Amino acid sequence: MAAASVSSARIESKPITLSRRKSQQTENGAPDRIGRFQIIQQIGRGGMGVVFKALDPETGNMVAIKRLRRDRINSKSAISQFGEEAERMFQFDHPNILIVIEEGEERGVPFYVMRYIDGASLDEYVREVQGGVEWILGVIYKISLALEHIHERGWIHRDVKPSNILIDAEGEPYLTDFGICRPIMQELNDEEEDETAGTPLYMAPEQILAPNTVDQRSDVYVLGIVMYELLTGVRPFRGQGTEDVLSRILFWEPISPRMLCPTIPAAVEKVIMKAMDKSPKNRYQSSAEMAQALKSLMLRVAINRRIHPHETSTEIPAINN
């Protein structure tokens, strides 16, 4: 029997018709153009910037442009942080990372240009598309390799979550949003030391207790949360408000994924729980190590599918918000 290959092939997914990312409420005074780019619509908005779908007239390609929000243009720290995000992204070159093509400034407002992904965020995608264990393993495997790419360059993401992973029409994932990415083991100043950066539902315990100690294993933990959510349809730590969620992350153990979805293979659950161990020293020590475990699982699933071709992959339940 020929060995099944999982390292280079694109992730298998069912034929799909996605309802594309909907235009969000447009920023007041949104321009028709930014630089040479013709603005089509606003597709995203965050604490730091606004994202537009735009046409590059030089190439005829659609691009995504992230521009600093107008209400932040008088903040020197915001301008500096925005520029640092673009500079960080220029360092990355990985097929599953949404990289910066160029950056510029329009009337004193900075922006940068990225490839446009015609698809949806991971959380939107799984609400519309029924995928199986094999597909989920493929997504997490490729994102773990993307994380290893940024870790090797001395950075941690700190905000890995389904809404920061884009899925194109072929089911390929892309890691995005490096706004709170920072150097591994960077010494924080007194003002930053007590700040808890990240999204509460997707934070490692050390991000809450000791932000100065976070390293690549914090991203591994959160990737475990994402994997848990994709396979069970629920987040491992839910509560009544932010303080309750953070308390559960610190002191509660997550319910076994197989108790929520008994068809999840035991070996898959083992990977999730190792990634989500509350002690960093007991987790996978790198995203590469987690990727290797996932690759082994994918190979076993692929071989099992060849031996039992009429068996179907476990279908994932819809994610509950």
* pTM score: 0.83
CA distances, 154 to each of 122, 151, 216 (Å):
26, 5, 9
Among 60, 83, 115, the domain boundary falls at: 115
The reported pLDDT for the residue numbered 317 is: 46
∠ Cα 13 16 18 (to 5°)? 125
Q: Measure the CA–CA gap between 114 and 103, rounded to whole angstroms.
A: 9
Q: Catalytic amino acids? A: 159
* Number of domains present in the structure of the chain: 2
Q: What is the mean pLDDT of each run of 10 residues along the chain (321 residues)?
A: 37 40 50 93 88 96 94 90 88 93 91 93 82 88 98 95 93 92 69 65 94 94 97 92 94 95 92 97 98 92 72 49 48
Q: Is residue 177 part of a domain?
A: yes
Q: Is residue 21 part of a domain?
A: no
Cα first-last separation, the chain:
43
The reported pLDDT for the residue numbered 14 is: 38
Among 115, 144, 173, the domain boundary falls at: 115
Answer yes or no: do 206 and 284 share one domain. yes
Cα-based torsion angle of the residue sequence 301, 303, 309, 314 in order, rounded to the nearest 10 degrees: 0
Answer yes or no: do 109 and 186 share one domain. no
Q: Which domain holds residue 288?
A: 119-307
Among 85, 115, 145, the domain boundary falls at: 115
